[in-house]
Chain A
Amino acid sequence: MSAKLATSRLGPGPIPVRAGIGLRAEHYDVLLETRPPVGWLEIHSENYFGAGGKPLDYLERIRAHYPLSLHGVGLSIGSTDPLNHWHLTQLKRLIQRFEPALVSEHLSWGSAGGRYLNDLLPLPCTEEALYHLIARVAQVQDILGRQILIENISSYLQYTHSTIPEWEFLAELAERAGCGVLLDVNNIYVSARNHGFDPDTYLRAIPQRAVQEIHLAGFTVNRFEGGEILIDTHNQPVCPAVWALYRQAVQRFGPRPTLIEWDTGLPELAVLVNEAQQADAILEERHARAA
């Protein structure tokens, strides 16, 4: 990238069209010492909801060197429970303090009757759920005073009363709530294998202008008696089939900021940086072709 990025009082501003990595506590020190050439960092917002201490202290120092994206895992935006305003207040405080270029949540729910399962649970793809989501996303964007991105999740079940394909549901949500899409290519692959649809159908349904970020990660195959199921575990490298689907996505949507996610069995930072470089190479090919 030859263009110089604008820098806020905190550090670099916009997310460059490059690969970034998820920031995890185990990597704080080595990241500060070595400052690897990744384009940007993404955090799980809730890990920084505390009032003080080391997480916020490290984030402050790291933010000085990298553009930042906030990725929420606990808002439960698709729940029919009232929106959790305490959660949103903490998210807003984090946004004001660290000025992230992107803020994202999931196309999911995670709580019912005030009990949280702290998981990303699938919504039925019905008109009722779609209208609910449109209203909730609009409400969250109003409260935060900014656009958010909504990410497609991996799912392990489909409801018998769903009437709309998930890709149409997400496209419609983006169109009508005015949110962006965080397209998780690994999640498309996992759900496609689990439910037997063509991932290309998913990619073709999502409007190009809505996609502002892409996620990549590794999954695990669990074998059951009578079948197998892919679980979105974020515990290994991106597999060749997902790299291939990523090339297709970049082909269709154009180069987009791309994140390597790794959450469990976290390897050395260098492994993540290497994965990010592979994504960068694919983005570069597309840049070069466009030039």
Chain B
Amino acid sequence: MLALHELQQRFATAVLGEDDSGFERAIHAAGLTGAQRLQVYRNNTRLGLTGALAAVYPVVQQLVGEGFFHYAAAQYITRYPSRSGNLHEFGGPFATFLETFEPAAGLSYLPDVARLEWAYHEVFHAAHHAPLDLSALAAVPAERQGELRFQLHPAARLLESSFPILCIWQAHQNVDHDHPPVRLDDGGIKLMVFRHENLDIEFQSLPDGEFHLLYALVTGCNFATACEQAISAQPGFDLPASFRRHVLQGALTAFYLPDTSSSIHDHP
């Protein structure tokens, strides 16, 4: 008799892979064979997981077409099986998969478009966070401001690509409207995917200095180092205005001064 544990392992292998040698003998053949019945589950699993991927990556699907997308998804499902009972968590490494997916090698921008769509998906489901406490920030003594460290809003993601992925994304949002043609040699983009307090999600194209300021802050640099990196990336850019904008729109949500009694100024 097939023990429950073994049955489930073999069932999963049969559904995810090609190897179902002998397993169909554990299935009643009545009208349909065991292999045909297993095929129903193989189809259901593939369609369910492909549907979940298509929901997160609609632009990738438009770029490659439905047939190609289904083919890619079938490969992805076996190489990066779902690890969660929550389908919204499925598909994170799709961009990484596409990088080495030979049939898509001609579409060098595809992985970055996938990264943009995953960032949007994460931001859509991310936690709420109250804006930064401006009066507490203003109370930090001037001589200590360089030591400040900041946190990015949970519903904000920074992305950098050497392709015009935002133009590509926009050109696939409303297919009934005419969009200017996307020119791949228009160059890359630095951007932030950001969810506003009203839950609308916006793609903000960032100048080099602004991107490096925020990038340095989210990777743990203090304010002084972040400012240096921003200025060296884009000499002469209006750093105070840029910083103010991100504080006011809520992209920077909390700050703290290390090595002092004052703990993090965080109002979740």
Contact = CB atoms under 8 A, between A and B. Distances in A.
Contact of B3 (A46, A47, A87, A128): A128
A109 B41 CA distance: 13
A113 interface: yes
B58 interface: no
Interface of A: 46-47, 49-55, 57, 72-76, 79-80, 84, 87, 90, 109-119, 121, 123-124, 126, 128-129, 132, 156-161, 195-196, 222, 224, 226-229, 231
8 contacts: A52-B127, A90-B86, A109-B8, A110-B85, A112-B8, A116-B84, A196-B30, A229-B40
A41 B248 CA distance: 38
Contacts of A114: 83
A158 B49 CA distance: 24
Contacts of B38: 157
A161 B11 contact: no
B179 interface: no
Nearest to B10: A112
Contacts of B4: 80, 123-124, 126, 128-129, 132
A112 B90 CA distance: 16
Given A52-B155, A161-B2, A84 B85 contact: yes
B86 A87 contact: yes
Contact of B85 (A46, A55, A113, A231): A46
A51 B88 CA distance: 12
B31 A227 contact: yes
Interface of B is mostly: helix
B125 A53 contact: yes
Given A112-B11, A157-B40, 13 more contacts: A51-B154, A52-B154, A74-B85, A80-B8, A90-B86, A118-B48, A121-B11, A124-B4, A196-B30, A224-B32, A227-B32, A229-B37, A231-B44
Contact of B52 (A53, A111, A118): A118
B22 to A, nearest CB: 12
B49 to A, nearest CB: 6
Contacts of A158: 27-28
Contact of B37 (A87, A117, A156): A156
